[in-house]
């Protein structure tokens, strides 16, 4: 039986050590500072990115991988006899998923590649990829892994607490007047992702402490005593308040596993420094 290999893109924000340990292949997006372009999480690491972002002071942009970028990875793996599951950033946010599906269609008929839209971002996607890779290493079948991906995707809860409105405004997600007024009023938007993979403003709260309390309140209401895995994603060098939020969530939820990750350059381009990602998924007994 062919072994199953997981492929994802750099927006999954999976640490390099984890990717190496689980044999996960990663196709990078690009981050552009004017005419200068970097490969996300390859030639530009998160800590370097946030320092550069603040110093740059202008709008940075991102660009998706080409179908050929995915094709080369798929071809290499399938030629080696592997079966591939490729899990991508939400297709509602980026053309990355479309590039992956085009690459799949370019392969020979016998190549076993399944492309899945995570309908998520950052470690919302990453946590699904990691779980799938762990199952693959343990010898699970492709069908079993795909079923678990569907379960996690449907049950994952995620929230992003954005520290500043500046980057949402620069990226065109909110108007300049709203950003200025929101900053004056110390508005902290809480973003989430719906079932179709679109980002939406879940709530707007005045002050970081109230925003943290709101996230904890919603998760406690939804999950109560359910055993959960908790992942907190932080922006390097801008982690103010994160310890308080972590303690609050651990107090409110039945946390059976806990991890931390970093919000990488592509997600950070749109959310900005100081963003905190909260990812919670029920653990199947």
Per mean pLDDT, which range of 114-123, 164-173, 210-219 is the poorest? 164-173
Whichever domain contains 205, its CATH number is: 3.30.1180.10
Query: What is the b/e burial string over 108-135, where b = at least 16 CB atoms within 10 angstroms of the residue's CB?
Result: eeebbbebbbbbbbbbbbbbbbbbbbbb
Q: Regarding beta strands 61-63 and 30-33, do their DSSP bridges make them parallel or antiparallel, or are they unpaired?
A: antiparallel
172 and 278 in a single domain? The answer is yes
* Per-residue pLDDT reduced to its tens digit, 151-178: 999 999 999 888 766 666 555 444 443 4
User: Does the pTM exceed 0.95?
Assistant: no
Across 6-15, 159-168, 175-184, the highest mean pLDDT is recorded for 6-15
End residue of a domain, out of 112, 127, 154: 154
The reply to whether 249 falls in a domain is yes
Between the CA of residue 134 and those of 41, 110, 165, 185, what are the distances in Å? 22, 25, 37, 45
Task: Measure the CA–CA gap between 68 and 90, rounded to whole angstroms.
Answer: 19
Task: Measure the CA–CA gap between 190 and 243, rounded to whole angstroms.
Answer: 18
pLDDT at residue 2, as a whole number = 64
Whichever domain contains 107, its CATH number is: 3.40.50.10170
Structural domain harbouring 180: 157-282
Of the candidates 151, 106, 110, the one whose C-alpha atom is nearest the C-alpha of residue 131 is: 151
138 and 231 in a single domain? The answer is no
73 and 181 in a single domain? The answer is no
pLDDT at residue 165, as a whole number = 61
């Amino acid at each position: 039986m062919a072994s199953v290999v997981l492929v994802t893109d750099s927006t999954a924000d999976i640490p390099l050590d984890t990717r190496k340990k689980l044999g996960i292949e990663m196709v990078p997006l690009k981050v552009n500072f004017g005419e200068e372009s970097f490969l996300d999480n390859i030639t530009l690491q998160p800590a370097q990115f946030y320092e550069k972002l603040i110093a740059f002071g202008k709008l940075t942009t991102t660009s998706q991988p080409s179908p050929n970028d995915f094709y080369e990875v798929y071809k290499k793996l399938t030629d080696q006899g592997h079966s591939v599951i490729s899990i991508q950033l939400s297709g509602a946010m980026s053309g990355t998923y479309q590039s992956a599906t085009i690459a799949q269609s370019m392969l020979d008929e016998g190549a076993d590649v399944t492309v899945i839209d995570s309908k998520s971002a950052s470690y919302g996607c990453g946590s699904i990829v990691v779980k799938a890779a762990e199952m693959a290493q343990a010898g699970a079948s492709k069908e079993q892994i795909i079923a678990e991906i569907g379960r996690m995707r449907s049950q994952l809860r995620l929230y992003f607490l954005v520290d500043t409105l500046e980057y949402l405004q620069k990226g065109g997600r909110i108007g300049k007047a709203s950003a200025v007024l929101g900053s004056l009023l110390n508005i902290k938007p809480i973003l989430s992702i719906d079932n179709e993979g679109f980002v939406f403003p879940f709530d707007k709260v005045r002050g970081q402490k109230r925003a943290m309390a709101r996230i904890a309140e919603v998760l406690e209401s939804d999950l109560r005593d359910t055993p959960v895995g908790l992942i907190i994603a932080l922006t390097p060098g801008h982690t103010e308040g994160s310890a308080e939020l972590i303690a609050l969530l651990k107090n409110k939820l039945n946390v059976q596993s806990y991890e931390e990750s970093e919000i990488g350059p592509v997600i950070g381009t749109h959310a900005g420094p100081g963003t905190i990602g909260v990812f919670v998924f029920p653990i199947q007994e």
